[in-house]
Amino acid sequence: VYTQKCGISRLEEAGDCFARAECWSEAAEMFLKAKCYTKCFSMCSKGKQLYNLGLQFLQQLEEEHSLENSKSLEVSAIRTKYLDNCAQHYFERGDIKNMMPFVKAFSSMDHVRVFLNSRNLIDELLSLEMEMGNFLEAAGIAKHKGDVLLEVDILEKADLFEDATRLLLLHIIVGSLWSSNSRGWPPKRYAEKAQFLAKAKELAKKVSECFYCFVCVEADALSDVNKSLSSLNCTLLEGRKCANLLVELVASRSILDVHLQSRASGYKIELGPGSEDENSCNDMLASNQMSPQTLFYAWNHWKSIIIKVLSHLCHTDGPELNDYAVVYEDLFAKYFGLRKDGEGDRYVVLNMNASWLSNAGRNSLQQDGNRCLLGASECHSCAQCFWMNELSSVGFSVLKKLESIVQISPKPASWYTLVRTVLIIHEIAKFLEEPQFSMPKGSMKLRSFFVLCGCRFFELVFLVWRDGTKGSLSRVLDSPAAYGLIADSLSANLRPANKKLTYGHLGRTTMLLLHAAQLDEALLSRLLQYLGNNSEWAGFFRYFKRFLDSGRDRSSLIFNFKLALEFTLSVKWKDELDYISPGCYVGLMECLGFLASSCLLVQNDFMCCTKSLLVNMLECRTSKAFIDTCQVSKSSPDSDLHGLAHLSGRFIYETIITILTTKHMLQEWVDKTSCPSSTSYRAVLLRLVVTLYPLILTLSLGKCYEVTRNLVRNEVFKDLPLEFSKKIQDALKMRSHTPSNFIRVLADALASIGDHMVVIGSPKSPVICRNLNAYMISKEDLHDVPKIMALLRLEEPSSVKQETPLPEKSDGSKRPEEPSSVKQETPLPEKSDGSKRPEEPSSVKQEIPLPENSNGSKLKNVISGNIPVNVELVKIGISSRKKKSTGVLVPVEVLKVEGSRKTDSTGIFDTLWKKLDTFLRDEQGQ
| Per-residue pLDDT tens digits for 134-176 | 999 999 999 989 899 999 999 999 999 999 999 999 999 999 9
> Does residue 449 share a domain with residue 326?
yes
| pLDDT at residue 793 greater than cutoff 80 | no
If one compares 261 and 341, the residue with the highest pLDDT of the two is: 261
What mean pLDDT do residues 654-661 have? Answer: 95
Do the domain assignments include residue 297? yes
Among the residue ranges 409-413, 468-472, 716-720, the one predicted with the least confidence is: 468-472
pLDDT of residue 841: 36
Do the domain assignments include residue 849? yes
- Measure the CA–CA gap between 620 and 599, rounded to whole angstroms: 17
pLDDT of residue 287: 96
> Does residue 544 share a domain with residue 671?
yes
| CB environment 61-99: b (16+ within 10 A), e (fewer) | beeeeebeeeeeeebeebbeebbeebbebbbeeeebeeb
If one compares 274 and 35, the residue with the highest pLDDT of the two is: 274
> Does residue 647 share a domain with residue 524?
yes
SS3 383: helix
If one compares 550 and 651, the residue with the highest pLDDT of the two is: 651
| pLDDT at residue 540 greater than cutoff 80 | yes
Among residues 616, 591, 589, the alpha carbon closest in space to that of 466 is found at 616
> Does residue 492 share a domain with residue 455?
no
pLDDT class of 393 with cuts at 50, 70, 90: very high
**Nearest 5°: phi and psi at 849?**
-60, 140
- Measure the CA–CA gap between 291 and 297, rounded to whole angstroms: 10
| CB environment 580-616: b (16+ within 10 A), e (fewer) | bbbbbbbbbbbbbbbbbbbbbbbeebbbbbbbbbbbb
- ∠ CA 848-853-855, nearest 5°, is 130
Among the residue ranges 62-71, 176-185, 295-304, 667-676, the one predicted with the least confidence is: 62-71
pLDDT class of 636 with cuts at 50, 70, 90: low
Instruction: Give, as one character, the DSSP assignment of residue 808.
Output: B
Do the domain assignments include residue 146? no
Cβ count near 56 (within 10 Å): 12
Query: In this structure, are strands 874-882 and 889-899 parallel, antiparallel, or unpaired?
Result: antiparallel
pLDDT digits (tens, 9 = 90+) for 428-456: 999 999 887 776 666 788 999 999 999 99
pLDDT of residue 58: 81
| pLDDT at residue 12 greater than cutoff 80 | no
| pLDDT at residue 219 greater than cutoff 80 | yes
- Cα dist. 535→158, 511, 542, 560 in Å? 83, 18, 11, 10
> Does residue 758 share a domain with residue 676?
no
> Does residue 495 share a domain with residue 441?
no
pLDDT digits (tens, 9 = 90+) for 189-212: 988 999 999 999 999 999 999 999
* Cβ–Cβ under 8 Å, residues 509 and 489: yes
What mean pLDDT do residues 692-698 have? Answer: 92
- Measure the CA–CA gap between 723 and 708, rounded to whole angstroms: 15
Among the residue ranges 75-84, 279-288, 398-407, 467-476, the one predicted with the least confidence is: 467-476
**Nearest 5°: phi and psi at 818?**
-75, 120
Mean pLDDT of the chain: 82
Please report the DSSP string for 253-272 in residue order: HHHHHHHHTS-GGGB-----
| pLDDT at residue 842 greater than cutoff 70 | no
> Does residue 660 share a domain with residue 598?
yes
pLDDT digits (tens, 9 = 90+) for 108-118: 899 999 999 99
pLDDT of residue 889: 53
Supply the CATH number for residue 115's domain. Answer: 1.25.40
Among the residue ranges 146-150, 299-303, 381-385, 597-601, the one predicted with the least confidence is: 597-601
**Nearest 5°: phi and psi at 733?**
-90, -10
> Does residue 10 share a domain with residue 102?
yes
Do the domain assignments include residue 884? yes
pLDDT of residue 763: 64
Report pTM.
0.76
Task: Decide which of 779, 813, 837 is a domain's last residue.
Answer: 837
pLDDT class of 462 with cuts at 50, 70, 90: confident
What mean pLDDT do residues 266-272 have? Answer: 92
User: What is the total count of domains within the chain?
Assistant: 5
pLDDT of residue 359: 83
Q: What percent of the chain has pLDDT over 70?
A: 79
Among the residue ranges 309-323, 593-607, 806-820, the one predicted with the least confidence is: 806-820
Cβ count near 521 (within 10 Å): 9
> Does residue 671 share a domain with residue 542?
yes
| pLDDT at residue 335 greater than cutoff 60 | yes
Among the residue ranges 578-582, 694-698, 755-759, 919-923, the one predicted with the least confidence is: 919-923
* Cβ–Cβ under 8 Å, residues 58 and 34: no
If one compares 319 and 704, the residue with the highest pLDDT of the two is: 704
| pLDDT at residue 618 greater than cutoff 50 | yes
- Measure the CA–CA gap between 811 and 822, rounded to whole angstroms: 29
Do the domain assignments include residue 158? no
Q: What domain range is 29 assigned to?
A: 2-119
Do the domain assignments include residue 195? no
Q: Is 308 exposed, middle or buried (0-12, 13-18, 19+ CB in 10 A)?
A: middle
pLDDT class of 694 with cuts at 50, 70, 90: very high
- Measure the CA–CA gap between 526 and 538, rounded to whole angstroms: 11
* Cβ–Cβ under 8 Å, residues 37 and 75: yes
| pLDDT at residue 850 greater than cutoff 50 | no
If one compares 921 and 420, the residue with the highest pLDDT of the two is: 420
| pLDDT at residue 614 greater than cutoff 70 | yes
- Measure the CA–CA gap between 310 and 384, rounded to whole angstroms: 6
| pLDDT at residue 802 greater than cutoff 60 | no
Which residues neighbour 537 within 8 Å (Cβ) at sequence distance 6 or greater? 506, 510, 527, 531, 564, 567, 568
Task: Decide which of 837, 869, 898 is a domain's last residue.
Answer: 837
| pLDDT at residue 814 greater than cutoff 60 | no
| pLDDT at residue 807 greater than cutoff 60 | no
For the chain, the residue count is 926
pLDDT of residue 909: 56
| pLDDT at residue 667 greater than cutoff 60 | yes
Among residues 139, 143, 80, 74, the alpha carbon closest in space to that of 115 is found at 80
- Measure the CA–CA gap between 37 and 676, rounded to whole angstroms: 109
Do the domain assignments include residue 246? no
| pLDDT at residue 890 greater than cutoff 70 | no
Instruction: Give, as one character, the DSSP assignment of residue 466.
Output: H
On the CB side of 546, CA atoms within 13 Å amount to 14
* Cβ–Cβ under 8 Å, residues 863 and 852: no
Q: Residue 51: which H helix or E strand, with range? A: helix 51-64
> Does residue 740 share a domain with residue 715?
yes
pLDDT of residue 860: 37
pLDDT class of 469 with cuts at 50, 70, 90: low
Task: Decide which of 410, 434, 469 is a domain's last residue.
Answer: 469
Do the domain assignments include residue 208? no
Instruction: Give, as one character, the DSSP assignment of residue 349.
Output: E
> Does residue 875 share a domain with residue 821?
no
> Does residue 860 share a domain with residue 899?
yes
